[in-house]
């Protein structure tokens, strides 16, 4: 019976939707250091010094060793820079 099959598929689909929509109860597991996205869809970057997430448009950029680092403030940038250049 085709109708039964369709209903079965629908039930599975709804169950799938339900489980996907269910909010994760385990809040502890987050990817540290990865790029996150803000509510506006803007990319958030992590300040390597104070570990604050800043929208990429507000962040201070510093390119070093082919990597781009982002900082929340000039203070953080200068601090990180002087620590990095000490060697």
| Residues at the interface with Zn ion (CB under 5 A) | 47, 50, 52, 72, 76
Instruction: Specify the residue, 6 or 42, whose C-beta has the smaller distance to Zn ion.
Output: 42
Buried b (16+ CB within 10 A) or exposed e, 29-48: eeeeeeeeeeeeeeebbbbb
Q: In the complex, which residue's CB is closest to Zn ion?
A: 76
In the complex, the smallest distance separating the C-beta of residue 52 from Zn ion, rounded to whole angstroms, is 5
In the complex, the smallest distance separating the C-beta of residue 75 from Zn ion, rounded to whole angstroms, is 7
Long-range (24+ apart) CB contacts under 8 A made by 42-48 are 45/70, 46/70, 47/71, 47/72, 47/76, 48/80
In the complex, the smallest distance separating the C-beta of residue 11 from Zn ion, rounded to whole angstroms, is 50
Instruction: Specify the residue, 76 or 87, whose C-beta has the smaller distance to Zn ion.
Output: 76
């Amino acid at each position: 019976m085709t109708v039964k099959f369709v209903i079965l598929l629908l039930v599975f689909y709804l169950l799938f939707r339900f489980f996907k929509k269910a909010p994760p109860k385990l809040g502890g597991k987050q990817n540290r250091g990865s790029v996150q996205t803000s509510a506006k869809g803007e990319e958030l970057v992590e300040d390597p010094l104070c570990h604050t997430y800043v929208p990429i448009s507000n962040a201070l950029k510093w390119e070093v060793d082919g990597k781009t680092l982002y900082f929340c403030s000039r203070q953080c940038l200068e601090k990180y820079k002087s620590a990095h250049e000490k060697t």
